[in-house]
Amino acid sequence: MKSFFRRLFLKIAAIANNRLKRRSNKVRRDRHLTSGFTLIELIVAALIASLMVVVMLSFLVGVLESDRKETAKSNAQEELQAAIAYIADDLQEAMYIYGAEGIAGINDQLPHTQTQTGTSENKCTSTDCTPILVFWKRTSFSPDTEKNYSNGSGKEKLGCMPYKDTTVCKSEDKDINPYKSAFGREIYVYSLVAYYLKSDVGLDSTWSDTARILRWEISDGYPWSCSTGGTITDTTTCPTTFAVNRDGLTGNPPALVSSTNSLIVPAASDEITYFIKPDKGFNRPDFSSATSILSWKRFTSDADGYDLSTNPFVTLIDFMDDTAYDATQGGNDPATGTGAIGTAALRIPVGKNVTISGVITNPDCDDPSIGVGNTNPVTTTNAAGTVTQRVPADFSDATINPSGLSSFYTCVAPSNVTVRLFLRGNALARLGSDPQPRNFRQPTTTNTSFFPTANARSFGRSAIGISK
């Protein structure tokens, strides 16, 4: 009986306990359904979230801006290296490079001093362009250039000339045509090349409002010759129709003018007959003496100057530094051989040309760590040494340096055809869709990394011994 009551008591207790648990769970559920955040809690949470977003956005903007600046620096440096490599490669065929005296001697014959037409962005004039590098180089005609050659045969490749059998010559198969490349490749002529630093500041054009390096070139023509060694009157094998004189007259010598029965003689005579005429204004250089090469004149029968539509100024690189030259940069103190010292953020290590033993030269350009590395410099006891000169000779002289800039200059040793090139870009001008205003892209002691530089030493093909 005792055991029965004990079990009954435990049963009742269990039932009561279960009811208490169900009631407790219901209370908790009701409390949960009626509880929530207050307005203050929501406002505080929103403020905290906003601060976190602002911090993250500021960090992201900083990263993007830093990346944009580094990209501008990288692009500026890469373009400078590409430009200086192109110029150095161009100089490998140089026969003679003008120093500061040489450029001054032929300055009035160069295209920037001639009358020009067209838009200002395509011009290079004596008020905005400084000739920095002027040289004569050897060039050749592409053997794939097609031109009328043999009498009545139509166009042929220059690589086939001179060859009598035009059927074989026109073959594209080298195994069938062993003569295809036997001629034409060795037809070398002279070209005159000039590199300029042009200021575009204030110029409304498709180019940036900074500065550019421009290249200009004119070349000699492809002279006439006969495939059999005969004369132009040999109508069987020699071309009688396609060979022309410099002034467009046919024949060798040029044809007579029937009305006057006399030869047309241009102001500057040229008795050579051509298949491809020289560029307008081209005149062959005379390397016999310094006097002749320093007094070179363009072909004066081309009275209206050069044809800049055929031989235009070509932009090599844009976004060159347009910082106006200032004496604090250095470069206008006399060269001493230890490097010029300036106080500005952008310093020029090469001083002005000086006169030693009656010879204009530049000891800074002699220095191998700065200039060309001259092993036989002019000294007070060695007036016959190798001359080096900086171009431009004076950055502050508007006559010598019309662009008023210093972001492209050279050290030149004319007698051994050696050059040290100096280039400086402006990466600050690249920031934004349009170049930043000039007053916001000036160099300071804290932003010099935005003005990348490049320099290289280059050697020409051969030396002719003229030292100016």
Q: Which residue has the higher pLDDT, 321 or 151?
A: 321
Q: Which residue has the higher pLDDT, 119 or 314?
A: 314
Per-residue pLDDT tens for 136-159? 999 887 766 766 655 445 566 666
Res 184: pLDDT: 41
Highest mean pLDDT among 199-203, 292-296, 345-349, 407-411: 407-411
Strand partners, 135: 97, 193
Angle at 99 between CA 94 and CA 103, to 5 degrees: 95
Q: Are 137 and 188 in contact (CB under 8 A)?
A: no
Q: Where are the domains of the chain?
A: 1-32
Cα 144 to Cα 82, 156, 181, 315, 387, distances in angstroms: 27, 9, 9, 26, 41
- Total count of residues recorded for the chain: 468
Q: Which residue has the higher pLDDT, 227 or 390?
A: 390
Strand partners, 215: 195, 314
Task: Give the end-to-end CA distance of the chain in Å, rounded to a whole number.
Answer: 138
pLDDT band at 179 (very low <50, low <70, confident <90, very high): very low
Res 286: pLDDT: 86
Q: Which residue has the higher pLDDT, 449 or 435?
A: 449
At 310, list the tokens. Answer: 């055929």
Q: What is the DSSP letter of 330?
A: -
The torsion angles phi and psi of 211, rounded to 5 degrees, stand at -145, 155
Strand partners, 138: 190
Closest CA to 315 of 458, 454, 198, 433: 198
Per-residue pLDDT tens for 14-38? 665 666 666 666 555 555 555 567 8
Res 356: pLDDT: 94
Res 173: pLDDT: 46
Cα 229 to Cα 13, 156, 165, 172, distances in angstroms: 135, 18, 14, 25
Give the separation between CA 254 and CA 241, rounded to whole angstroms. Answer: 12
pTM exceeds cut of 0.85: no
The beta-strand segments (E) located in 71-187 are 94-97, 129-140, 146-148, 155-157
Closest CA to 316 of 410, 227, 408, 419: 408
Choice among 65-74, 98-107, 126-135, 208-217 with the minimum mean pLDDT: 65-74
CA 66 to chain centre: 27
Mean pLDDT of 363-378: 92
Per-residue pLDDT tens for 396-406? 999 999 999 99
Q: What is the DSSP letter of 309?
A: T
Q: What is the DSSP letter of 294?
A: H
What residues have CB less than 8 Å from 374, skipping those under 6 apart? 365, 366, 385, 386, 388, 413
Give the separation between CA 36 and CA 424, rounded to whole angstroms. Answer: 66
